[in-house]
Chain A
Amino acid sequence: MSQDLQPGNIGSYPEDNDLKKFIDNRKRGGLLWRLSFQLATLIAILALLALLYNIFNGAFGYVALQNKVDPNALVLAMEEDQMLSSPKTVSSEDDNELVKRIENNPNAIGFFGYAYYNDNTDKLKLVSVEGQTPSRETAESGEYPLARPLFIYSAADVMQENRAIGAFIDYYLTNVNTVIEDVGYFPISDELLNGATTSWSEAVGDQAEALQSYAANPADVSDHDIRISGSSTVYPLTRQMAIQFRRAGFQGGLDLQQTGTTAGFRAFCEDMTADITNASRPITRAESEACGDKKRTPVEFRVGTDALAIAVSSKNTFLENVTKDELRQIFTTAETWSDVNPAWPNEPIERFIPGADSGTLDFFAETVFNRKLPELTESELVKILEANISTGLMRRYEAEKPLAERSQAELVDLVLERVVEQKVVGSWKFTESLFNRTKIEEEVARIPQGELQWRSWISPKFLITPQSSTPELAGVRTALFGTLWVIAITILVALPIGVGAAIYLEEYAVMVANPILRRVNAIIQTNINNLAGVPSIIYGILGLAIFVRAIEPITSGTLFGISDPTTANGRTIISASFTLALLILPLIIINAQEAIRAVPNSLRQAGMGLGATRWQTIWSHVLPNAIPGILTGNILAMSRAIGETAPLVVIGASTFITVDPTSPFSKFTVLPIQIYQWVSRPQPEFRNIAAAAIIVLLILLLTLNASAVILRNRYSRRLS
């Protein structure tokens, strides 16, 4: 090197510390960029995760179900019906009649309000339940199982604004214990009664004294009306109090309804059509909050305890105590006493129970049976069906599949669908369901007959039920069949043509000497590459014009006289398949070409060198070796076709069909179309089933790709 080319003469590079700093700077910049590249990659992964998460999120979560009929009431009615129809059962609305029939029959048993037993202690023997004898104390504490508290509810502002109400409640609390035993309930302890009075005083505040004076002289508040709603159990007691209040001089309106506890709270808290509501259970948190929304703070007054007495004749020597389970058997299935307990005599049980309309029977059934719909047996479910749906409908179901052959779960579904008429009235996504549970519960509690349920929108049932306009009943069966049909025909058409074209281009076209033909072949190749870039919707337009319209006689099947009776136009499976076949043809050809090109030339030469014709060589050596690659390309193309939506929308896939496709000339829908339609609906439940359908679609694609990998591996192992 000559002297004047030494760097020092014409410039310099950083040295020592400067060099170190210089390199460090460059490296720092490099690290920064490297991080940004990694970040980009991370974003891509996050996008995929978000996509999958979002689908998952939509496919699972809580739903609010609303029932037209309360399933518990159905069970109760069925249980009561069973009780009433058991052999040797006498039912009477007249409790005295029951007492009279039991007293002389040692094999008889019955139940009624505790008061009636109390009047007849000499003739009857009280049976303890689960070791507990009913008494004011055991009933009040809840130790005795067949007991429940009785309440009335009102609110501070109601009592203050409507003096009649405030006065009536004071009157009620002061006098309830004088009448309660006549009505048939246990009086509550002084302690509880004092508590109730205190609640009243606190609620009415400084009006207490005035109201107390009105209570003593109800005529003074006759300018106000009293509206009472709620429990039918408390009703007789409140009615008795109302009668006395009127007797004491009250002349205002007195509207007393028995609607049941739940409806009573609704009338009181939400509709505000009641000023007082009777209740045979405490108010729930949700009900209380619903009241709070209307600026009404409910105040609870315990007024008594209801208990049932299980009684036998005083002549009965064997029965002292029963368990709840024994009680259930005694009043339903058992025929003799020894059926229930071998220690008891082998004598028929004679049952005496209150009438079907009495609250007593309901209470007994609720407490003793306490079963939910899904716990019932097949025959019980069939009974419910028979009792609640028309014989015509029953016959139809019987024809579809005999009820006797249906599983318990199927019958439960049928009851839910036809009798309970369960409807999804709200739905929540997976994460909402996990993290906002309390809020959801409150919302659901506000729905009349509402119920919260965890729901997996994707289920075996979802796969085998056809489309429906009710999202919770809809399934993908029709779409799934449509997809399978369309894809099968698409592949049947596209695979041979695609592979054929690839063979031509790879094995024959290069050998062509004729310049015109060579030009044609070059055009074919360029053309295929260009077609691969044409948007899929353009193929849809082509399919619409050619397959649906121009050759409609063929694609509708009318030419062959086998058209689907439901559709006589060209918007059929076969049109869809032809369209998709053209769409994936370039993909198949390009992939197959690559696979064929990858077959070593030596194999071709070996074949030809032996005097094989070109086709013999291709068939015996080129194709077998190219098959794994062709297969992979084919699977890719199939996946593409399965996911295609736009071209099928354009050629006119059906928007709503519930009939499985039966031939290539059937009208059709496919999974992606179904998803598209469901996504486009505004109701959130349709988003849920769209998510479920997406999972079905993705699983289908995943299975397909996995099977391709397995197939390819097996094939290539066999080759080598």
Chain B
Amino acid sequence: MAVGASSRPEVTSQTEVDITTQLRKHPRVGETLIEAFLFICGAVSILTTVGIVFVLAEESLLFFTSGEVSLTEFFTGTVWQPAIGQFGIWALMNATFTVTIIAMIVALPLGLAVAIYLSEYASLRVRSILKPILEVLAGIPTVVYGYFALTFMTPVLRNIFGDNVVQIYNTASAGIVIGILILPLVSSMAEDALSAVPGSLRQAAFGLGATKLETAVQVVLPAAVSGIAAAFIVAISRAIGETMVVAIAAGAGPKFTFNPFEAAETMTGHIVRISGGDLSYDSIDYNSIFAIGLVLFCITLVLNIISRYVVAHFREEYE
């Protein structure tokens, strides 16, 4: 062999040097600096959260201590008219919930059905066509959905129900379109959950003489229920936080109404409209968007935490 004694002298000579010196820790400044930098990168996310909480809390505090609005009034009132000092968040929250409920009526059944079809029925070829289509749907910016709601869905609704029933701006149109917007989210998350169910479970069901539907609905679906529930919750959170569609199609004026064909402004829509104008930093309007933001943040945060909890605590048994 070529590496003979000739290539070894370094090692032999090294043996004469003190082994402790040889193995001693080098001060690897570069490594430490890099690790520190990487840690800071990670910490930026903490700073973001802290920033969000701090900013929302601080400005909301200003809002509630301004003397113009009390907490009770804020959380129980149904009139939002800053001009006359009325700040009842239900005027906005009600619209948000209307839009969300309509969106869910569209997105949940459709999304789940699509997921079941993709995971249990569709051939590989069909899947390879359908999945990119859903991805395209998911990748379209929300402002485009806003355009769609206003220039397509609203005219369609007005054609069906009549121009005097459906206003030009209405929560139904925005809700339906948000439903379409989050459909790919629901279907892909639900499909992931369904696909994660081990094939052996399906085979067991088929082996007992179950039909495809019985297997899908009575065996696979219950096994994936935590993932699907999580998908639904995330979808709700997403619908509540969705902004551009409602800003464009739902209307620009807070209104406490349960009629989905009437215009009403959601929390997000209100924030966008108020801040879209030339906003004075000292006005109560400016502070109010932080208070609304805080409510919005809390709702979505709680929903997200619930969804993660559901996944984390009900999933293991099937893995």
Contacts and interface: CB of A to CB of B under 8 A. Distances in A.
Interface of A: 23, 26-27, 29-30, 33-34, 36-41, 43-45, 47-48, 50-51, 54-55, 58, 496-501, 503-505, 508-509, 521, 523-524, 527-531, 533-542, 544-546, 549, 582, 585-586, 589, 613-615, 639, 642-646, 649-652, 655, 672, 675-676, 679-680, 687, 690-691, 694, 697-698, 701, 705
B297 to A, nearest CB: 5
A537 B143 contact: no
Contacts of A536: 241, 243
A585 B44 contact: yes
B121 to A, nearest CB: 6
Contacts of B46: 523-524, 527
Contacts of A498: 41
B85 interface: no
B304 A542 contact: no
Contacts, number: 256
B26 to A, nearest CB: 9
B157 to A, nearest CB: 13
A652 B237 CA distance: 25
A48 B133 contact: yes
Contact of B137 (A27, A44, A499, A672): A44
7 contacts: A30-B211, A54-B147, A540-B271, A615-B35, A672-B244, A679-B151, A690-B147
Contact of A535 (B42, B243, B248): B243
A537 B268 contact: yes
State the majority secondary structure of interface residues on A. helix
Interface stretch (B47-55, B73-81, B86-94): B47-55
Nearest to A655: B276
B148 A54 contact: yes
Contact of B268 (A43, A497, A646, A655): A646
Interface centre among B113, B187, B305 (most CB of A within 10 A): B113
Interface string B22-54: 000000101100110111111111101101100
Interface centre among A23, A29, A497, A679 (most CB of B within 10 A): A679
Contacts of B268: 535, 537, 646
Interface in B203-241: 211-214, 217, 234, 237-238, 240-241
Nearest to A539: B52
A492 B89 CA distance: 39
A656 to B, nearest CB: 12
Given A37-B116, A47-B183, A615-B30, A530 B146 contact: no
B52 A534 contact: yes
B214 A26 contact: yes
Contact of A679 (B242, B248, B308): B248
Contacts of A545: 55, 59, 290
A40 B276 CA distance: 37
Top-9 shortest CB links A-B = A535-B241, A643-B141, A500-B41, A40-B113, A30-B213, A646-B243, A533-B304, A504-B38, A37-B117
B211 A533 contact: no
B160 to A, nearest CB: 15
Contacts of B52: 534, 538-539, 541-542
A524 B240 CA distance: 25
A45 B40 CA distance: 44
Contacts of B300: 533-535, 538
Contacts of A39: 113
Given A37-B121, A44-B183, A537-B268, A531 B147 contact: no
Given A501-B45, A639-B139, A44 B144 contact: no
B95 interface: no
Given A44-B134, A542-B52, A586 B113 contact: no
A505 B39 CA distance: 8
B247 interface: yes
Contact of A585 (B45, B139, B151): B45
Nearest to B147: A679
Interface of B: 28, 30-31, 34-35, 37-46, 48-49, 51-52, 55-56, 59, 109-110, 113-114, 116-118, 121-122, 130, 133-134, 136-137, 139-148, 150-152, 180, 183-184, 187, 211-214, 217, 234, 237-238, 240-244, 247-248, 268, 271-272, 275-276, 279, 281, 289-290, 293, 296-297, 300-301, 303-305, 308
A646 B142 CA distance: 9
Nearest to B59: A545
B45 A586 contact: yes
Given A23-B211, A644-B141, A649-B275, 17 more contacts: A26-B214, A30-B214, A37-B121, A40-B113, A45-B133, A48-B137, A51-B180, A530-B301, A535-B237, A536-B243, A537-B241, A537-B296, A538-B296, A643-B139, A645-B141, A676-B146, A679-B143
Nearest to B286: A544
Contacts of B146: 676, 679
State the majority secondary structure of interface residues on B. helix
B291 to A, nearest CB: 11
Contacts of B152: 50-51, 54
Contacts of A538: 52, 56, 241, 293, 296-297, 300
A55 to B, nearest CB: 7
A393 B56 CA distance: 53
Interface centre among A524, A531, A646, A687 (most CB of B within 10 A): A646
Nearest to B237: A533
A43 B110 contact: yes
B151 A652 contact: no
Contacts of B144: 51, 55, 643, 675, 694, 697-698
Given A40-B117, A645-B143, A534 B297 contact: yes
A615 to B, nearest CB: 5
A615 B55 contact: no
A354 to B, nearest CB: 55
A648 to B, nearest CB: 10
Contact of B55 (A44, A546, A691): A546
B78 to A, nearest CB: 23
Nearest to B112: A40
A524 B45 contact: yes
A505 B43 CA distance: 10
Contact of A531 (B41, B48, B183): B48
Nearest to A532: B304
Contacts of B151: 54, 58, 679, 687
A651 B279 CA distance: 10
A51 B289 contact: no
A687 B149 CA distance: 12
A668 to B, nearest CB: 15
B125 to A, nearest CB: 14
A45 B134 CA distance: 8
Given A51-B144, A530-B301, A541-B271, A41 B114 contact: yes
A231 B242 CA distance: 62
B42 A509 contact: yes
A524 B272 CA distance: 30
Nearest to B248: A679
A51 B145 contact: yes
Contact of A613 (B28, B272, B305): B28
Contacts of B114: 37, 40-41, 44
Given A40-B117, A649-B275, A650-B272, A524 B42 contact: yes
Contacts of B28: 613
A546 B244 CA distance: 23
B102 to A, nearest CB: 15
A278 B170 CA distance: 53
Given A540-B275, A541-B271, A701 B147 contact: no
Nearest to A653: B276
A501 B275 CA distance: 32
Contacts of A524: 42-43, 45-46
Contacts of A499: 41
B137 A613 contact: no
B44 A497 contact: yes
Contacts of A613: 28, 31
A415 B147 CA distance: 34
